[in-house]
Amino acid sequence: MSDVFPPPPPGEGQGEGATVAELQRLTIRQLAQTLPPREARLEAQLLLAHALKVDRVWLIAHDTDPLTPAQLDACNALIARRLVGEPIAYLLGEREFYGRRFQVTPAVLIPRPETELLVDLALERLPADAPARVLDLGTGSGCLALTLALERPLAQVTAVDASADALAVARENAHHLQVANVALIESDWFAVLEGGAGCNPPGRMNPAPQRRAFDLIVANPPYVAAADPHLAQGDVRFEPLSALAAGADGLDDLRRIIAAAPAHLAPGGGLLLEHGWDQGEAVPALLYAAGFIDVECVPDLAGQPRVSLGRMPE
Ligand code: GLN
């Protein structure tokens, strides 16, 4: 988005005495310089409602209300941040995923609609009427782990992330979504699980390593090539690079996960991985090489290769 923040025309917009409707009109005009009109309108309403701590219906009912200087300042500060390109999800502090609201901060990747495919594929493999042990690697906001835990209350979900700041966000989400069947653990991929302790309830150490513990492992790891120009565009510029970029070909983390996963899967256990549109051959090849069977790559709604999966032999 443009980093120009033009002064308001006289008598309208951000100036003293502006009404809700005037500020909204000006905000739409500014956002529409880089967004389609419909999106500009929606974002303007969301930003104003957020800054004023009201809902969008209030904006309509109060359109002739003059804004106080403090209200104008709050609105203008948020609008200015959006105009320099900060993602709307970070400004509002939330994003919807699989029908639920997840809190997000710049410590976590913003949940993407295409990742809902990973949820659908995982749910197909998790019976609703039986317990299962599920691991989510690099959980970020917790959108995958918490969605699976809520959709499958009998499952015991373990979610790890290497970032303590990300885990704090996931914890917040587990709390407000009232998820009881999840354990959130700080770990660089499988590191903390190597001794098996991560699979136990907190405070109960198991002296015998519990490898091959999981029925299903899911991950939306970083998979963008480090030099991909896409990393310097749009929302992505404000997201944690550690959640996006993975070496020269974007496969560094996928390779590590695929190599280590078999030791953590129960016989017949599945591995489901999100990846880039151009990794639909490389990831299945890595899965075969690691001993997975029934390997397939599933396209997203846009028809792009998006999730590859396989399972361990029985
Ligand atoms: N799909 C994201 C993007 O291209 C990347 C997410 C990821 O690396 N896990 O913006």
pLDDT of 3 > 70? The answer is no
Tell me, in angstroms, the distance from the centre of ligand 1 to residue 90's CA.
16
User: Average pLDDT, whole number, for the chain?
Assistant: 92
In a domain, 63, yes or no: yes
| Stated pTM of the model | 0.90
Residue whose CA lies nearest to ligand 1 atom number 2? 244
Ligand 1: distance of its center to the CA of 270 in Å? 22
Q: Which atom of ligand 1 is nearest to the CA of 223?
A: 8
The model's pLDDT over 126-166, given as tens digits with 9 standing for 90+, comes to 999 999 999 999 999 999 999 999 999 999 999 999 999 99
Among 37, 67, 84, where does a domain finish?
84
Residues 51 and 128 occupy one common structural domain: no
pLDDT tens digits for range 232-253: 999 999 999 999 999 999 999 9
% of the chain with per-residue pLDDT over 90: 88
Answer whether 222 contacts ligand 1 (Cβ < 6 A): yes
pLDDT at 129: 96
Both 270 and 172 in one domain: the answer is yes
Please indicate, yes or no, whether residues 194 and 259 belong to a single structural domain of this protein: yes
Does 7 map to a domain? no
pLDDT tens track for 34-65: 999 999 999 999 999 999 999 999 999 999 99
pLDDT bin (cut points 50, 70, 90) of residue 17 is confident
Tokens 């016989």 -> residue: 267
Domain count, the chain: 2
**Is the confidence at residue 266, as pLDDT, over 50?**
yes
> Of all atoms in ligand 1, which is nearest to the CA of residue 236?
10
Domain span including residue 80? 12-84
How many angstroms separate the alpha carbon of residue 56 from the centre of ligand 1? 30
Task: Write the CB contacts of 119 (distance below 8 Å, at least 6 apart in sequence).
Answer: 98, 144, 147, 148, 151
Q: Do 134 and 74 share a structural domain? A: no
Task: Judge if the beta carbon of residue 110 lies within 6 A of ligand 1.
Answer: no
Give DSSP secondary structure letters for 70-126. HHHHHHHHHHHHHHTT--HHHHHTEEEETTEEEE--TTSPPP-GGGHHHHHHHHHTS
Spatial distance between the Cα atoms of 39 and 47, rounded to a whole number of angstroms: 12
89: confidence class by pLDDT, cuts 50, 70, 90: very high
Do 189 and 299 have their domain in common?
yes
Q: For ligand 1, is residue 231 a contact (CB within 6 Å)?
A: no
